[in-house]
Structures are given as structure tokens and as C-alpha cells.
Structure 1
């Protein structure tokens, strides 16, 4: 036991002697980072950095190591080196890394890679069409002198007195502009010089005699083939109204494509593809002050376009008279309408409160003949039976079979489709193709952006897509009554036309 304690004391004494401050520096092992250096990508042989030499110990033939002076050995094995000014004390590895980054950036700059990358991004990003209405020039801001603190100028602050409290009833201004006055409004375009008359070609085009040929409904294979031939290009996209499109339709003429659109703030735009009047064939009018929720050309009088607005007004744009006539007027809240007679003289009009009104245009004034209350939750649109005009249906969603007009229509099918447009996009609406009565078109929220055509059974027939000319959601869609043409309107006031 005593021998073991003596050996322990001896080992402790020897150990303490070895780690005294005098020989502490000699006993600490320093890292020399002798491991393999990481591989680095060199972009150019002209900027190649010198490889770091691996430190090895020279061994003599007799096996003894060549000793170096202490200062040189410490300098070689030390991790910390004196860095250039501004870098502080960095290790050799960090200095080498910074030098590689600097040389790589210099090489990329010499070949203009950064500039080419930005130019490529600009080229690949689709730009909106510049055809149609031009953007208004921004108002020049008034240059005012900089504001200075009275405290820093050692001046006393001015004493301001509050104005006296108003007496009586306070009248708050409405957030939307005032409603247009009742009575006929002149049909004066706002995007042409003041006092300019309507182009005579517009009246000629609207007065075109449209002969309704007997409809020949294609089989689905032939119908899909006709859809594939309909394309869009730069000339078929134009800004027709200033704000979000709420409704749009085709004129029934066939010699040219004439379209109409209504926007969020009551403006109505007419656009003739390839036209030379207005802005690239666009004429803009202001008959309403709130969203134009529904519009349609009269089939019996093609020079008349009826437009309905949320502000409570239903007007008739008569190109022959060059006025917007009053048809029906309430305080506010009109939603939708449809023609109830073949001569388009009788209308069924629905409002936001679940009521439908029967309006006869032949009766003097702008009131209804009768008013009927329905369920407000289902009144999203009204549609009159194409043959039996005394019947109409109101609907919110899905597809129903109304051929028998029973109290409860049987459900044909349900199609899974994303309808969540949010508050900044117009609600998606499905519209039947008048040339193919068992198929309909609807916008889509899918990316890449598209417009889809479905059969009544729910089978997808075709998706209209174009990476260069279609990059937004087309909420409002409609087919031409006789030609192979489809329109789509977006939230920026632009119309897209797919045609053969």
C-alpha cells in the first residue's frame, strides 16, 4: 500500500513538472489543418489561386527529424495570420475563401453574367398587352419646401384653435360617385376628343343583317377539334375598360368581331378587333357609377346594348340614336336580367334582395309591371327558357335539368372546380356555348392560367392556354353566338379573344 502511494506521488510530481508555465507552450499541440483542402470551382485558368502546400516533416535518412527554429515552426503551424487591413484577424482558411469569392465575382462580372441574368428575367416575364386604352399620365407633384422644426429654430409654436362643433344633422359623403341623372344620356366616348361624333362604321357594323343559320351541333370529337383551332395572339388582347371587368359579351355580327365589356365603376367599352377608331378600336363610355353586372345585345335590334348596374339603373345603349336610354331604375342593388320575349321588349330583372321584376319596355316610364319575392340566397342569376319564354329559373351554382320544369329539378352532375377568387377578382361564371348547347365554358384558378370547356356530364373538353398572351385569371367568359370565338375578361380591364 505504501509503495503504491509513493508511485502515485511520483507520477503527480512528474506531471506537474511537465505542465509548468515555462514548458506549457511547448506541450500544447497546435492545429495545422493538414486535412484535405475542399475542392473549389475555378471559372477561369487566368484567375487560378495558388494551391496550399501540404505541410510535411522532413525525415533524414537515419530517421531523425530536422528541427526548425521555434519562431519559424510557430509561424508555420499557427492558425491565425495577419489579414489585410479591414479584415481583422482571420485564419488562413477564411482568407483563402474570401480570395476565391473575390476572384469568382470578378470573373462573372468580366463576362457580364449578372447583367445577362437580369435581362433574361425581363425577357421571360410576360408583359400585359399595351393595346387598347392608354394609361393616364401621372399628375406632376408640387414641389414644396422641406419642413423645419420650430423647436430647432428656437421659435414658439403657433397656437391652433379647433373649429366650432357643427350643429344639426351631419351629412356623410358616399364612398362611390353619385348616380347618373335619370333620362337619356348622350353617347359621348370619353377617350376621344371632346365633341367628336361616333364613327359611322360602328353603326354600319351594328346594323349588319345577321342571318341565323340552322344550328348543326357537332359530335364531341368534332367540337374538340374546333376548339383546338381557336388561338390567341398579341393583336387579340386589349384594354377595353379601365378597371376590373364584371360582364362582357359579343355582338352577333359575323364580318368582324365586336365586343362589349362593363367594369367596376360603371364604364362600358366597345372594341372592334382591327378597328382604327379610338384607342386601337376601343371606345369608352360612362353610363353608370357602380359595377356593370350584366349586359346583352338585343337580338331583334342589334344596334341596342342593354347594360345593368349595381347602382340600380338598367340602360339601353342605342347606337342609332347615340344615347343611353332609361329602361328600369330603382334606388340600388340590381344584379341580373334576361329577355323574356323574342322581340326583347319584355325583361325579367333580379336584384340583390331576392326579388325579380317584370319590365315591359313599351310601357312609358322606367318602373316594373310586377314584382315577385324569391329566396335571396339563390338569386345569383336569372335565365329564361329559350323556347317557352314564360318560364325562367334562378340559380346560385351547379347544373340542373329543367326540361320538365318540375318543382325540384334533378341534379345531373357535380364538377370539382376551384371557385375561390377572393375579393379582388370577379366571381367565376359558367356560360353555355350557344353553338353546342351541351357544353359550357368557365374560367379557372389553376396555374398556368387557362379557360376550360366542359360537357354537361362533367368531362373536360378543352383548356385554352397561352404562355405568352395569357397570364391572368379570366373570370368573365362568353362564346360568340355563331362564330368560333371565345372572349375572356380579367381584373385589369383587358379582353382576350380566342378565335380560328
Structure 2
């Protein structure tokens, strides 16, 4: 009789030893069943079976489904199998070789948007629908709230610790890599803006009921949106700049994107050069800065100055003495006076030495401008004393910091606009986190999402008045920590 049938007859299941199990079994089968019993007893004694069941339940948490949903892939058409001419008994005709092209195009660039104002039409809303009235009310809110005095470090750490993340503060706001992000200065509600890899600009109101879970997105550019900022003098205006060479201003009241500046060269960065935010300094990929006045008709610059032989990655204007601006170039960080710029070979007012690789960013401190914070690809963050604006600004602090991988946005340290001497930067340490430092190098706090410890939030920003912080990643999701 076969073994399986014999076991079935006596009622013995696989992995069990019951009373009377030795009926009709050979000595080999009896020994095998005893081994199974002993093995199970041993595994139970060390709780391995229970641990295995618990391990099966542990999986990486699914990303938030709030916000935009990626469209389902279209079903591929099944084509008939191809047959060669030889199998079809058809004689092949001789083919002449085509001449080798002199220039090989690696990537086809998407055509730039036409010049002039563009209608502000949300891509993820029904055709012909208007912008939500609540958005206009929030957008036009005049936020005059200011922090009366700088917090001491103990109070500041307490404020940071009060900022938490919840599932409703995570949303997919764009389909692609987030390059830039900013908070609207409104204090009543959290309204955020981001720019992505394909030139889209999105708006997300936490708790909003329009669009996709409060998310609206637009297409004013065709290249990565590397820099954006709300006007400090007119919060109803959001300016965004793209690699495609365009700089536009979102106007919700008129429902258009105004054409501010347009050039054939790629644009990397900009900042406001006047308190009314009408004059801008714009850096391009050729190492030039353009002075742009938004009140001048047209979309061209007033002046153009060559500062770096390679490229400019970041410009930052002094908060009170607007004639000064700091430039992060290929391997140098210099401070210039806009009143004494020449077309070529402009003399720097101050040189910030010590960088051995390319610089990701350099920013003046938000209230006094007495410090400059730089992030370099040599794995160091540096803080310089610029209070005296000497020829060589002294280096105050150096902080070791690991740079990003090749597929992430370069990490940049940025000041908290509410705190003169503290800044935030993402970390590549495990688990992934965002760290807040004092200018002395002392770490004040770490933002960690315990459910998503593997995510790098490369695009970061603090709210200008509220205790709120945002971080964006390469998958197009925003994470908001708030009190």
C-alpha cells in the first residue's frame, strides 16, 4: 500500500503525530514522524513559528493615497507575431545605407510655452470650471502677523518638538520629482506651492475640498521649476522660475500667469532686490545675473552681468541692504554690490573662501544679513560672518554633512525665516530625517516620519510665521509637520 494512502487511512495529517499513529507504519515512518514532532516542539520553544507569522504581517507601509492619483496604464494592443521574409519565402531587396547624421539628438526638448500671459487653468479640474472662490479669499488674505521677538534656543526647541506629522498632512501633489516648494504667508490656513520636474506648479490647501483632496496643479513651464517664492510685499503673487528660461507670476485674481522674464538660456535662481519685490536678480546657466524690473513693459532684463565662467546655482539678496547679493557659483561664493557691476569681470565686495567643490546654495540670514549659510558638494555646510562686509568674510562654523545621490535634488541648508540663527537641512543618515541646527553647529531637533523612514525630503521650507515645516521628495509627495 502507498505511504500517502496508508497515512490517510490512519488519520495522520502532515506534521502531526497522534495516538495510534504507529498502526500499520514501518519503523522508518515512525522515526520520521517522531523527528517531525521533536522539530515542532523545538521551534515552539523558541517562538520561531510565531515570529515567522508576525514577520509575514510586517510590510513597508503604503505611500499616502491623498492628492493626485497616477493614471492607470493603458492596455497594450496585442499585435500578430512577426515573420521574417525568409520564412515567408520572399526575396529581400537590397537596402542602401543612410548617411550618418552629423549631430545626434540625445533628448527632444518640449517646446516652451508661448510668450505673454497664460490662462490659469487647473489641469485636474473639469474643462471650463473656474478657480474655487475659497482659494481667492485665502490667497488675498493679508497676513501681517510677525514674530515680535526671536525665541531663545530652549523656547525654539520646544516649538520644534510641538510640530508633528499626521496622515492628512501627506499628499501626492505632483506626478514627478519636486524641485522647489514654498509656504503662502497666510496664518489662518496652510497653503503650499510646489514646482516639479516637468514644469508644473501646484497649490495644496490642507483640508481643502477642491481638486484632488485640496490639490490644484497648472502647467506654466515646460522644464524643471527650480525656484519659487511668494512676494513679501504682495502675498497674492507667486513667482516661479524654470530651466526652460521662463520666469512667471501667478495671479489668482486675474486667473493668469504673467510673463515676467524670458530668455533662451536656462534659468536657475532668483531673489527680490527691492522691498516692494518689483526688482529681481536672476541667475542663469551661463554664469550671468540679470537685473529685471517687473514694471518695465516687456519680458526682458534691464542689465546683464557675467559673474562666473560656468554657472550660477543660487542668488540671495541682503534682507536690509538690498544692493548686496551673494552668489553661489561653480566653486566660489562671492558677495557683489549691484551699484558697481560691470558687463564682465565685476569685482566682488567679499569672498567666502574654503569651498573645494561646486556649491549648491548660499543664503543671507533672514533678518540682519550678518551671516551667510552655504552648502557645498564637498560634504560640508559653512556659516560665514558678513556683519562687517570685509574683503574676506571670516568662516565661523563648519558642519559635516553627507550630500545626496545622483538621482535626488541637491540638499541645501536654508534659514528658518522666523529665527535669525537657525537653519534646516535634510540628512542622508539612516533613518532619513530633516535636521535643524544652530549657527554654532549644535543640532536643535530632527524631524522624522516614523512610518516612512526611507524617504529623503530634499525640497524643504519653513512657514514664515507659523510653526510649520514642509518637505518634498522625488515621488511628488509633500510631508507637512505642524503644531
3-state SS, counterpart of residue 159 of structure 2: helix
Offset of 1:406 from its aligned partner? 2.0
Offset of 1:46 from its aligned partner? 4.7
Offset of 1:161 from its aligned partner? 5.6
Partner of 2:130: 197
2:76 pairs with one of 121, 124, 141: 141
How many residue pairs were aligned?
Answer: 412
Matched, 1:216 2:200: no
Question: TM-score normalised to the size of structure 2?
Answer: 0.78
Asked if the contact 2:68–2:175 (Cα under 8 Å) also holds between the matched residues in 1, the reply is yes
Alpha-carbon distance change, 192 to 163 in structure 1, aligned in 2, over 3 angstroms: farther
Matched, 1:266 2:199: yes
Alpha-carbon distance change, 457 to 186 in structure 1, aligned in 2, over 3 angstroms: same
Partner of 1:10: none
Partner of 1:290: 223
1:321 pairs with one of 239, 251, 254: 254
Matched, 1:127 2:62: yes
3-state SS, counterpart of residue 415 of structure 1: strand
Offset of 1:226 from its aligned partner? 0.6
Asked if the contact 1:237–1:469 (Cα under 8 Å) also holds between the matched residues in 2, the reply is no
Offset of 1:166 from its aligned partner? 7.5
Asked if the contact 2:17–2:37 (Cα under 8 Å) also holds between the matched residues in 1, the reply is no
Matched, 1:306 2:245: no
Asked if the contact 1:313–1:332 (Cα under 8 Å) also holds between the matched residues in 2, the reply is no
Offset of 1:116 from its aligned partner? 3.7
3-state SS, counterpart of residue 221 of structure 1: helix
Partner of 1:430: 413
Partner of 1:401: 385
Q: Counterparts of 1:102 and 1:322 in 2: how far apart (Å)?
A: 76
Q: Counterparts of 2:20 and 2:252 in 1: how far apart (Å)?
A: 76
Offset of 1:351 from its aligned partner? 1.1
Matched, 1:454 2:389: no
Asked if the contact 1:328–1:367 (Cα under 8 Å) also holds between the matched residues in 2, the reply is yes
Q: Deviations over 1:86-137 (max 9, x none)?
A: xxxxxx9xx96997499869x99xx997994564133xx1221111111111
Q: Counterparts of 2:38 and 2:95 in 1: how far apart (Å)?
A: 63
Alpha-carbon distance change, 47 to 326 in structure 1, aligned in 2, over 3 angstroms: farther
Q: Deviations over 1:328-355 (max 9, x none)?
A: 1111321100001111100000112211
Partner of 2:282: 349
Matched, 1:498 2:431: no
Asked if the contact 2:16–2:33 (Cα under 8 Å) also holds between the matched residues in 1, the reply is no
2:110 pairs with one of 177, 180, 188: 177
Q: Counterparts of 1:114 and 1:159 in 2: how far apart (Å)?
A: 65
Question: TM-score normalised to the size of structure 1?
Answer: 0.75
2:183 pairs with one of 240, 250, 264: 250
Asked if the contact 1:268–1:287 (Cα under 8 Å) also holds between the matched residues in 2, the reply is yes
2:400 pairs with one of 401, 412, 416: 416
3-state SS, counterpart of residue 436 of structure 1: coil
Correspondence list, 1:51-200, <5 A: 100=36, 116=53, 119-122=56-59, 125-147=60-82, 155-157=88-90, 159-160=92-93, 162=95, 165=98, 172=105, 174-200=107-133
Alpha-carbon distance change, 194 to 166 in structure 1, aligned in 2, over 3 angstroms: farther
Alpha-carbon distance change, 120 to 330 in structure 1, aligned in 2, over 3 angstroms: same
3-state SS, counterpart of residue 322 of structure 2: coil
Alpha-carbon distance change, 273 to 48 in structure 1, aligned in 2, over 3 angstroms: farther
In structure 1, list runs of 5 or more residues that go unmatched.
1-42, 51-82, 85-91
Asked if the contact 1:232–1:469 (Cα under 8 Å) also holds between the matched residues in 2, the reply is no
Partner of 1:479: 462
Report the structure number with the largest CA radius of gyration: 1
In structure 2, list runs of 5 or more residues that go unmatched.
1-14, 23-27, 329-358, 360-374, 376-381
Alpha-carbon distance change, 146 to 345 in structure 1, aligned in 2, over 3 angstroms: same
Correspondence list, 1:29-40, <5 A: none
Q: Counterparts of 1:162 and 1:214 in 2: how far apart (Å)?
A: 76
Q: CA RMSD in A?
A: 3.3
Q: Counterparts of 1:134 and 1:357 in 2: how far apart (Å)?
A: 39
Offset of 1:366 from its aligned partner? 0.9
